[in-house]
């Protein structure tokens, strides 16, 4: 693994089903983020974690949960998917301070 | 509140210069970042400013005025491969989070 990896790359999900999007980074970054990207709305922050063991809510957290059991992994769970959660989801990580964020390749999720 | 504004779309000609503007309001400020995103791909980092002034990196330059809450990305000698969305993002002090603008879709025409 080099950088930040997301899985799956794409998924079609029935409404009401539970789904976990996986994100792993090997850069030992403290901070990790989940964004969703929708046409015309740009990247919106769902949840974040500044360090292992802590998480926080972003701009659009409803319907999503996260955990940060260790530095490398930051899974995003949709407890009961709804069609409005159809989007492209990006995981990102950054070191503390004034450094940039690195993005995973994205997960394209369609809820039907 | 937090708000980032940038134009939705721009068009320019191959070989020309284009300036993409961004205005921001954030809770605290810890830097202004520009990203490039090609269709169907992840955003990739282009430049970073935390102090006022111009940062130059090859064909790309970025400017910041903290007092005005304003930044721009300057792309010189445009190439067809520069057709992409350009995302402006401010990093806040509170949660160390990145707040992104809606992105500017740049089309470079021959």
Q: Give pLDDT tens digits for A13-50.
A: 999 999 999 999 999 999 999 999 998 888 999 999 99
Q: How many CB atoms lie within 10 A of CB A66?
A: 23
In the prediction, which pLDDT does B97 show?
A: 85
Residue A95's pLDDT band (cuts 50, 70, 90)? confident
Task: Tokens for A108, please give them.
Answer: 């394209």
Q: What is the mean pLDDT of chain A?
A: 94
More confident of the two residues A1 and B48: B48
pLDDT surpasses 80 at B32: yes
Q: How many CB atoms lie within 10 A of CB A50?
A: 18
Residue A82's pLDDT band (cuts 50, 70, 90)? very high
Query: Count of A–B CB contacts within 8 Å?
Result: 54
pLDDT surpasses 80 at B93: no
A103 Cβ under 8 Å from any chain B Cβ: yes
Q: Give me the residues of B, 10-49, that contact A with CB < 8 A.
A: 30-31, 33, 41-45, 48
- The DSSP symbol for B49 reads E
CB-based contact B87:B100 (threshold 8 Å): yes
Task: Kindly report, residue by residue over B73-86, the tens digit of the pLDDT.
Answer: 999 999 999 999 99
């Amino acid at each position: 693994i080099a950088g930040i990896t997301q899985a799956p790359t794409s998924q079609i999900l029935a409404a009401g089903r539970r789904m976990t999007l996986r994100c792993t980074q090997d850069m030992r970054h403290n901070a990790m983020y989940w964004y969703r990207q929708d046409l015309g709305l740009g990247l919106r922050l769902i949840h974040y974690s500044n360090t292992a063991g802590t998480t926080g809510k972003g701009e659009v957290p409803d319907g999503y949960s996260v955990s940060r059991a260790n530095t490398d992994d930051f899974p995003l769970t949709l407890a009961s998917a709804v069609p409005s959660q159809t989007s492209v989801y990006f995981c990102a990580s950054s070191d503390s301070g004034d450094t940039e964020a690195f993005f995973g390749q994205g997960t394209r999720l369609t809820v039907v | 509140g937090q708000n980032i504004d940038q134009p939705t779309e721009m068009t320019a000609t191959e070989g020309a210069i284009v300036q993409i503007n961004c205005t921001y309001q954030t809770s605290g400020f810890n830097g202004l970042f520009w990203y490039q995103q090609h269709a169907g791909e992840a955003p990739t980092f282009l430049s970073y400013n935390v102090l006022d002034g111009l940062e130059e990196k090859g064909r790309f330059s970025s400017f910041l005025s903290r007092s005005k809450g304003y930044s721009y990305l300057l792309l010189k000698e445009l190439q067809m491969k520069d057709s992409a969305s350009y995302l402006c993002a401010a990093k806040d002090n509170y949660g160390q989070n990145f707040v992104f603008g809606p992105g500017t879709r740049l089309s470079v025409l021959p």
